[in-house]
């Protein structure tokens, strides 16, 4: 059976982040598709699994534990399990990033 989650435009002023939980579609992978304004990003949080980020557009700074690194369009960054992390759009344009969670559900705890 084919499952499709159709794109829906966000309401004006609403978050443009798309949350996809694989369990709702028979998938073992969950993800966020993020479209973030400059200066915006995620709060510090942790997962019981590694998270993989695919930067599609823009520039992001990642804080993973006590380390920081930057990535730009085309880069793939991986943060290990159980280490607090976050990202922020440090560019002047929109940041488009896919945050991949190898789990049927997104298991996230804010730190």
* Chain CA centroid to CA 78, Å: 11
31: domain CATH number is: 2.60.120.10
Question: For position 3, what pLDDT does the model report?
Answer: 82
* pLDDT tens for each residue of 23-48: 999 999 999 999 999 999 999 999 99
Domain of residue 82: give its range. Answer: 18-110
> Considering its fold, how many domains does the chain have in total?
1
Predicted model pTM: 0.91
1 is a domain residue: no
2 is a domain residue: no
Q: Are 64 and 83 in contact (CB under 8 A)?
A: yes
């Amino acid at each position: 059976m084919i499952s499709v989650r159709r794109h829906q435009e966000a309401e004006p002023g609403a978050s443009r982040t798309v949350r996809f939980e694989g369990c709702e579609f028979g998938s073992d992978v969950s993800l966020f598709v993020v479209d973030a304004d400059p200066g915006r990003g995620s709060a510090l949080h942790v997962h019981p699994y590694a998270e993989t980020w695919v930067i599609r557009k823009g520039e992001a700074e990642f804080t993973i534990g006590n380390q920081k690194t930057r990535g730009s369009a085309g880069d793939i960054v991986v943060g290990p399990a159980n280490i607090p992390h976050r990202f922020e759009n440090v560019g002047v344009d929109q940041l488009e990033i896919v945050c991949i969670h190898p789990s049927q559900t997104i298991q996230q705890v804010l730190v």
